[in-house]
Amino acid sequence: MRRKVTVVGSGNVGATVAHRLADKQLADVVLIDILEGVPQGKGLDLLESGPIEGYDLKIRGTNDYEDTGNSDLVVMTAGFPRKPGMSRDDLLKANAEIVRGAIEKVVKYSPDCFLIVVTNPLDAMAQTAYRVSGFSRNRVIGMAGVLDTARYRAFIAEALGVSVQNVQGFVLGGHGDAMVPVPRYTTVAGIPVTELMPKEQLETIIQRTRNGGAEIVNLLKAGSAFYAPSAAVVEMIDAIFNDRKKILPCAVFLEGEYGIQGLFVGVPVKLGARGMEQIIEITLTDEERAALEKSAAGVKELVGVIGV
């Protein structure tokens, strides 16, 4: 029996997640949205692509949460989009209400699912989903670090003129301006990146990574990134469904790890059939730990505002 994934929100991110899931034949897909006709139309369009692309999946759009029942995994993408000049914090209260309402309905019909949260501000929305769902922490995961790391790796590969597959590294902390790239753990074909480019160039890349979302928003003028975010989500789903035990940077609920208690913060985790199966604790310098604590403090402030 094929697995079933519900994608909440049929905008650019949600629809592209559905598209990538179909192309990889990972699961049947339900797109759900409050907009009448939009998820149905996009779902039908994807279904009609099957004979050409060669996938035999059930893909449908709906406005009724009952149709999402018995999903193995739910991706939360719905929310107000970030606009030019808008900080992630501006989205906070409005999107918290959207996430709260959607998760309540999702849990009613799919009490055993995993949750991957994409809605911004990511860390606070993941914490909202965690509190509302009542799920164990291994089943609620925020997509942030995979995306931020992809940007970081892409920029390094571009600067050095090498394959992106040669670049390994990860980003810690909150999604946004307070993210914490860790150059000491960044390598290119096993070679420390610090041996391949000057510190100043690497700092420029780190700053561009921090501003990666805003850079795209400012270029598009209307809308935000969706190709890379959807790819990040599907990499996480693939790791869970295929029990890959893959170590990826994700936002998870920390209970003392890295000295952080009761907050969603981005750290390296092992993703497998049980969801978040292990938090990987790495040794940090005093400077790196201070940056991570600063990032966590930003998340704490946001969750305090919305009371989660």
DSSP 3-state of 8: strand
Contact residues for 238 (Cβ-Cβ < 8 A; gap 6+): 24, 26, 244
Nearest to 96 by CA among 108, 88, 85: 88
Helix or strand or coil: residue 263? strand
Q: Which residues contact 202 (CB under 8 A, 6 or more apart)?
A: 156, 183, 193, 194
Distance between terminal CA atoms of the chain?
Answer: 37
Q: What is the full DSSP assignment across 59-82?
A: EEEES-GGGGTT-SEEEE--SPPP
As given in the structure block, the two tokens for residue 20 are 């990538």
Beta strands in the chain (DSSP E): 4-8, 28-32, 59-62, 73-76, 114-117, 140-142, 167-168, 171-172, 180-181, 187-188, 191-192, 246-255, 261-272, 275-279
Token duo for residue 4: 């079933």
User: Which amino acid, 19?
Assistant: H
Tell me the sheet residues that pair with 88: none
Q: Which pair of tokens denotes residue 230?
A: 């959807």
Catalytic residue IDs: 175
How far apart CA 60 and CA 22 sit, in angstroms, is 12
